A and B are shown apart, each in its own frame.
Chain A
Amino acid sequence: MKWFLGHLDQVWQLMLNHAVLALIPLVVGLLLAIPLGWLATRYRVLYSPLIAGTGLLYTIPSLALFILMPLVLGTGILDPVNVVVALTIYTIALLVRTVADGLGSVPDDVVQAATAMGIGRGRRFWSVELPLAVPVIAAGLRVAAVSNVSIVSVAALLGIPQLGSLFTDGFARNFLDPIAVGILACMVLALAMDLAILWISRAATPWLRTRVAT
């Protein structure tokens, strides 16, 4: 506790770094997963290869992926870009399936009703299908957000500063306080992102207000 109060600035700075490293992949991953998930539902042939391909990337342990990234990107081993790209890959892997399942769960009669009302294919996707898939996508997004926060801390082993640095620092000095503070800060950050997504998804689906969103 005393250690925490003496290092408020440092913890806050690391937490901001951590949040950025976890958030960018989440947003980029979602933006890329929506068209991929759409492809997987629109052309059923693509469903299995897309899911299997992204699933394969998902199985690679994070530390290994961070280390292999420079071979693909030509970056330095200390470059935070490695972490961002690796996490984006995980996020896409998790969300392509969720987006595809979410779009697949939109009832057929709703889509037909929209078509019968003269709504074109593009507008139907943005104003009917995607909004109805929001609860399912949000559930996947929450999983991705929470796991991103946990994975970012692994990058501390490579010397990329974020809350995980508190773990490596504390361990090197045989000092438990920073580790405990780091764990708590990570969990608080994960909870905050989880709640934010839940709140956004509730706000985006007012027709579910009377029921529980997820």
Chain B
Amino acid sequence: MNLLWAWLSNPENWQGSSGIPVRVAEHLAYSAATLVLAALVGIPLGLWIGHTGRGRVAVVNLVNGVRSVPTLGLLFAAVLVVGPLLGGDIAFLLPSIFVLVLLAIPPILAGAYAGVEGIDPGARDAARGMGMSSLEILFRVEVPCALPLIFSGVRSAALQVVATATLAASVSLGGLGRFLIDGQAYRDYGQMAGGALLVAVLAVLVDLVFAGVQRLVVSPGLAPVRSARRVRTRAQLATNPT
């Protein structure tokens, strides 16, 4: 405990290009870039699957399958295979981001798909009866109604990304994971624990921010939905911490 406070309260650790603020910024930059890329793939694909009903089985299998792939192994394998083809700093950055995106897509995809698929068919029929086209139904009925689940998909992906970005330090990427990995290498428990505490705080803050945004964005008419069926879907689609 003393080592931890000594490290955290040492002003040197808060300055320079490997200080805490820079590492936090790096960590957030990797995570944000990954999340945007994953959302660009996952949300349209999930909406399409939910809207058309095609490829449902594939989604469930994909989500369950990816969950069982050990993150660390995938990260190392990607860097070993792709790294030599690139050279330089990007040899570590690109494969790491690739793995992070790959892991973030399934929860986002599953959220978007489950959101659209779980909509009351009556709402869809009513929209069609009002003369809405298929695209209008998608954007004016299905997307707003699916927003809570789309958001919870993005939120669990964000948690996963923040956690996995920590591991990326072991393939010489920056971010807060550096403190954990370097502390281990120098047998400096204060640095390890300090870094770990910062990662934990960052993860909790990111989660709280997403929870807050979710509350602001989602239509109040949708807030209290808790049917037994939805509960079960949520348990199946829950993602693992990494």
| A50 contacts B by Cβ under 8 Å | no
Where chain B touches its partner, the secondary structure class is helix
Shortest CB-to-CB span from A138 to chain B, Å, is: 10
A67 to B4, CA, bound (A): 11
- Residues on B with beta carbons closer than 8 Å to the beta carbon of A180: 77
B70 touches A164 (CB 8 A): yes
* Interface window among A1-9, A27-35, A55-63, A123-131: A55-63
Answer yes or no: A39 CB below 8 A from chain B CBs.
no
Chain B min CB distance to A164 (Å): 6
Given the known A-B contacts A59-B207, A154-B167, A176-B80, are A68 and B235 also in contact in the complex, defined by CB atoms under 8 Å? Answer: no
Q: Rank and list the top 9 A-B pairs by shortest CB-CB distance, nearest first.
A: A147-B240, A61-B163, A190-B68, A64-B196, A67-B196, A183-B73, A64-B199, A153-B70, A171-B76
Pair B235/A136 contact, Cβ less than 8 Å: yes
Task: Evaluate contact between B193 and A67: CB separation under 8 angstroms.
Answer: yes
Which of A156, A158, A179, A194 has the most chain B CB atoms closer than 10 A to its own CB?
A179
In the complex, what residue of chain B is closest to A158 when comparing beta carbons? B184
Interface size on A, residues (CB 8 A): 54
- Taking a contact as CB atoms under 8 Å apart, the answer to whether A176 and B72 are in contact is no
Interface string of B223-242 (1 = CB under 8 A from A): 00000100110011011111
Is A60 touching B241 in the complex (CB atoms < 8 A)?
A: yes
A171 cross-chain contacts in B, Cβ below 8 A: 76, 79-80, 170-171
Q: How far is the CB of B194 from chain A (nearest CB, A)?
A: 10
- B96 in the interface (beta carbon within 8 A): no
User: Does A157 lie within 8 Å of B181, measured CB to CB?
Assistant: yes
Give, as a whole number of angstroms, the nearest-CB distance from B96 to chain A: 13
**Are B67 and A143 in contact, CB atoms less than 8 angstroms apart?**
yes
Query: Is there a chain B Cβ closer than 8 Å to A48's Cβ?
Result: no
A63–B195 alpha-carbon span in the complex (Å): 10
Contact with A along B81-94 (1 / 0, CB 8 A): 10000000000000
- CA distance in complex: A77, B1 (Å): 13
Given A68-B197, A157-B184, A186-B73; 9 other pairs, CB 8 A cutoff: A63-B199, A64-B180, A65-B200, A70-B193, A90-B241, A101-B228, A146-B240, A168-B76, A171-B171
**Nearest residue, chain A, Cβ from B183:** A67
Q: Among A64, A98, A154, A168, find the residue whose CB has the most chain B CB atoms closer than 10 A.
A: A64
Task: Mark B residues whose CB is within 8 Å of A.
Answer: 1, 4, 64, 67-74, 76-77, 79-81, 159, 162-163, 166-167, 170-171, 177, 180-181, 184, 189, 192-193, 195-197, 199-200, 203-204, 207, 228, 231-232, 235-236, 238-242
Are A176 and B242 in contact, CB atoms less than 8 angstroms apart? no
Closest Cβ of chain A: how far from B202's Cβ, in Å? 9
- The 8 Å CB contact of A143, one of B195, B199, B240, is B240
A13-49, CB under 8 A of B: which get 1 and which 0?
A: 0000000000000000000000000000000000000
Check A139/B197 contact, CB under 8 A, given A149-B68, A183-B70: no
A59 touching B72, Cβ below 8 Å: no
CB contacts (< 8 Å) of A60 on chain B: these are: 199-200, 203-204, 241
CA distance A163 to B73 in the complex (A): 10
Q: Is A191 an interface residue (CB 8 A)?
A: yes
Do A157 and B170 form a contact, CB below 8 Å, given A61-B163, A61-B242, A186-B70?
yes
A187 within 8 A of B: yes
Which interface residue of B163, B171, B228 has the most chain A CB atoms within 10 A? B163
B152: min CB distance to chain A, Å: 12
Residue A94 lies at the interface, judged by CB distance under 8 Å to chain B: yes
Q: Closest residue of chain A to B189, judged by CB?
A: A77
Given contacts A62-B242, A139-B235, A140-B235, contact A56 B204 (CB under 8 A): yes
Give Cα A64 to B77, complex, Å: 22
A164–B242 contact, CB under 8 A?
A: no
